[in-house]
Amino acid sequence: MVAALARPLPEGPVLDLACGPSGSALLAAATGRRVPGFDVSLAALAGGAAAARRRGMTGLVSLVHADLAAWRPQPGSYAVVLCTGYWDRDLFPAAADAVTAGGVLGWEAFTAGARLMRPDLPEAWVLGTGEPASLLPPGFETLSQQELPDARAGAKRRLMARRGPGDPRSGSRPQLSVALRGFSSR
**pLDDT tens digit sequence for 114-140:** 988 889 989 999 999 999 999 999 999
Quick check: 178 pLDDT over 50? no
pLDDT at 177 over 60: no
Answer whether 163's CB lies under 8 Å from 153's CB: no
The two beta strands, 156-163 and 140-148, are: antiparallel
Query: Starting at the edge strand that comes first in sequence, how are the strands of the sheet with 14-17 ordered?
Result: 61-65, 35-39, 14-17, 78-84, 99-110, 156-163, 140-148
pTM of the entire structure? 0.86
Q: Report pLDDT for 54.
A: 94
Q: Mind listing the pLDDT tens digit for each residue in 60-117?
A: 999 999 999 999 999 999 999 999 989 999 999 999 999 999 999 999 999 988 988 8
Confidence band (pLDDT; 50, 70, 90) for 8?
A: confident
Q: Can you spell out the DSSP letters for 139-157?
A: TEEEEEEEEE--TTT--EE
- Residue 145 makes CB contacts below 8 A (sequence gap 6+) with 132, 133, 157, 158, 159, 160
